[in-house]
Amino acid sequence: MKIAVLNYSGNVGKTTIARDLLKPNLTDYEIITIDTVNADGQETMLLKGEDDRQIYVELLVQDNVILDIGSSNLEAYLKNSQKYRDLLNIVDKFIIPTTTDKKQHADSLKTVADLINFGIDKNKIFVMVNRVEKEKEDMFSEIIAPYSKVKINIVKTFIPRHELYDIGGLVSTRAADETDYRALMEEKRKKGDMDKARDFANMFVLQQTAISMNEKYLQIFNEIFN
């Protein structure tokens, strides 16, 4: 299966979705990053949107691929699909993360519209809402309303904004960490080393947050793939 994570807007969590939500549940998949701005050296393969022939070759030779398409390269990728029609048709699922931000919301709607205009089957398109601030959680139905009108798939589980976004690292890695930080905290607390106790308490809180988020990621994965 070929999966593309894309949006004309930046900062909607495309790379996070590719690496943290998809890859841990699709372990035999390769991530191909199509970007020129936000490369960080963790990519399996890094291409530019204008590298149309190489992208096409990889989609042909690899059975299981996750395309992480950067916002600055999406236009070139879509434009090149006119040259190689299969560049879009060969993709099985298009996942579009969006947020409650007005500009990013508008860019997401444009992404959906352009995919439809390029002839993509609406059943292949999935919109998911990411980085939802607590005070905006009640806006979910308002956010998804325009997508409902064009009858594409809407992921019913949204991802709340959490501090792990700002700290960095993979949620899946933190969630899989079996270190008993609470026991370490108690040990340091009993010895009167409160600074170390607080450090381990902080690690415990982050670990629990990651476990909770990982469960939510799995819910979303099952909505899209099952």
pLDDT in tens, the chain (226 residues): 999 999 999 989 899 899 999 999 999 999 999 987 655 555 567 787 678 888 888 889 999 999 999 998 899 888 888 788 778 899 999 999 998 888 998 999 999 999 999 999 999 999 998 888 776 667 777 778 888 888 899 998 888 887 787 777 788 889 999 999 999 999 999 999 999 999 999 999 999 999 999 999 999 999 999 8
Q: Which of 155, 203, 202 is nearest to 21 (CA)?
A: 155
Clarify whether residues 91 and 189 are in a common domain: no
Q: Do residues 169 and 141 both lie within one domain?
A: no
Domain co-membership, 131 together with 196: no
Same structural domain, 92 and 189? no
Structural domain boundaries, residue 180:
163-226
CATH of the domain at 73: 3.40.50.300
* Residue 103 sits in the same domain as residue 199: no
Read off the tokens for 110: 């444009």
pTM of the model: 0.88
Closest CA to 222 of 22, 7, 55: 22
Report the residue count for the chain. 226
Q: What is the pLDDT of residue 41?
A: 58
Query: 82 and 16: one domain?
Result: yes
Helices marked H in the chain — which ranges? 14-16, 52-61, 71-80, 86-89, 102-117, 140-149, 164-167, 171-176, 181-190, 194-225
Residues 17 and 123 in one domain: yes
- Whether 43 and 99 share a structural domain: yes
Shared-domain flag, residues 112 and 209: no
How many domains is the chain built from? 2
Pairing status of strand 65-69 against strand 2-5: parallel
Statement to judge: residues 9 and 119 lie in one domain: yes
Q: Are 167 and 155 members of one domain?
A: no
Same domain, 135 and 103: yes
Considering 161, 179, 206, which residue would you say is the last residue of a domain? 161
